Structure 1
Amino acid sequence: MHRRTSIALLSVGHACVDVYQGAVAALVPYFVAERDYDYAAAAGLVLAASVLSSVAQPAFGLLTDRRAMPWLLPVATLLGGLGIALSGLGGSYALTLACVAVSGVGVAAYHPESARVARLASGNSHSAMAWFSVGGNLGFATSPLLVAAVVGTGGLRLTPLLVLPALAGIAVFLPVLSALHRWRAAGDAAAAAVREDDRASFVRLSLAVVCRSVVFVGLSTFLSLHAAERTGGGTAAGTAALFVLYAGGAVGAVLGGALADRFGRVAVCRWSYLLAIGAVAGVVFVPGPALYPFVALTSAGLYVPFSLQVTLAQDYLPSRIGTASGITLGLTVSIGGLASPLLGSIADATSLQTALAPLVAVQALTWLLFRTLPDPRRPPQRTRTPAR
């Protein structure tokens, strides 16, 4: 199978999985409306999906460094879908937490191995990895629309229909598993031989990813409610804001790959995160419909570095590509959930605007950490396509 075909299929599968990353935040307003959850309880759902994912993804990365597990792609996709599909059926808060936690574990199992095999299939191409990331971004972008179409029309009782993207993802992954198996041995040896590990830079990058995650997940959790308050447009206004936040990721990831080829990955990340400082401030403090352009700028600022962080982590830690992928690609959408209950508690005691204001400072810290990072030499691309 041609590399471009494999990357395209992996990108589609990535979209099917990351629907469930965005679905948790997209479901929050419906849990608030139907079950009278307060902000802290709603944020706890994001925490349930995030904590296990945050802990499990590096563990899955370690496992995939020791032994390739391409079968995790369909299995993890199914877990991610089942957890969200069942989340709206249980009447108790504990059962709902358990369901979203199962989905989080599925997503955790998926990301390290998927990033690893995507790097193999890409032949070390920034552009190919960017297209792989685009799939995940599109999954995020469509999740609020999918949730609104299903749950918005029939209530939480229809969440079982949300398993359909998982089934589609499984069907997409199956044809490429044999090709990925043929590339594995040569790709692992080439990746490990690129250079020695730069653990100090990897740690600083990981801290930057954590800060970026706090900002992104904090906004993802509360943006729909915040936009509804600031614009007076109700649930529709909140869904639109969340869609803008996620949709910008598709453009941002591709743009990031193109800019990195010209200016270098670290430089592009620095400028993007600098832009995001002002953009996040606009989201928090600008009232009315003028909020939406700042949401779009925030999306660009946070997503342009998205795929670049993954390849940077892999190049800082070339002997542990699975671990690097688990800590960066996974943490960008998981560990930030640890801060969401705190933001929810602040919002309950004061206001959403007050709770979101510290995200501006956290975004500034992301930029400061990137100022300390070197730009490693990119490994050579492998353009030869294996024979069938």
Structure 2
Amino acid sequence: MSDIEIGRAKRARRAYAFDDIAVVPSRRTRDPHDVSVSWTIDAFTFDIPVLAAPMDSVVSPATAIAIGKLGGLGVLDLEGVWTRYEDADKVLKEICGLKAEGATKRLQEIYAEPIKPELLKSRIAEIRAAGVPVAGALSPQLTQEHYKTVIDAGVDLFVIRGTTVSAEHVSKGVEPLNLKKFIYELDVPVIVGGASTYTAALHLMRTGAAGVLVGFGGGAASTTRTSLGIHAPMATAVADVAGARRDYLDESGGRYVHVIADGGLGTSGDIVKAISVGADAVMLGSTLARAEEAPGGGWHWGSEARHPELPRGHRVEVGTVAPLEKLLFGPADTADGRVNLIGALRRSMATTGYSDLKEFQRVEVVIAPYHRG
């Protein structure tokens, strides 16, 4: 791929967001009811390729259970209000009622409350008691401090999620997490990210991760591009990481690492395009924060918004559009791609002639930038 000259001293590669591409129908079509959207990671098979992002506005123990019963996976933020406060609902109500001015400062104060090991255990136990797969997320910074409590409590999948996670973190003051050693010693599959480049993803795959998150998370609530100047156009990022998966499959003699798109997925069309360029599943934040059952009550924020030193996000109002089951499976009564996410994925796969997600990763894609008016 040729680079574009920015100036005499710098060249850059052209990258594409989901809005820049589109899938193309082939010679065959199918009945949407004949299409499979299930996916498998390690020993777990899910009916839909959806992980609910570990954000307090998206996943509570109750919504993790609800998403699990609908065939997806809810990932609980183990650094959120649910593990810091006994009465988390009261705290969430306060967050939803904050005025814009001063909201970030108050979020920092709320999340300064220490994480309580007994709440880590009880929240995980609540989800496990419902009979659905249990997943929890920690940042790389707090993984070493809390992972033993989390594993002992009985998570089925462990997620290490940050703005960007590398296999080679360098620090003069803090002993970094040795991902390869850490993952090797765990008895549960680990999903790690974000990563947005071929090289970073390949290094994460070599640590033994079962899945790699692509993107920086945060999505609609993130200001990472404004604050840090960092941004990963998601169509290119997912395709690059899928390339790393392909090469690692050869390098490892057949070990398949799942690629999970995490960010830039505001509509059903974005989910379709994420899978078309190589994702096995998607992690949804703001998209699920619009569900009636979402703990954010129509508001959405991520861990970036509460950072104690450099907040890189806002609490944003996303509204409420439908109950969770309707949001995922319809029927939709609007035409904006926010409701019946799975129905739209099925129809797109059927329209282009593919019967399962792995096949759909081979669909033809064109560059067709769409500029919203």
TM-score scaled by structure 1? 0.25
Relative contact order higher in (CA < 8 Å, ≥ 6 apart): 1
Where is the strand percentage greater, Structure 1 or Structure 2? 2
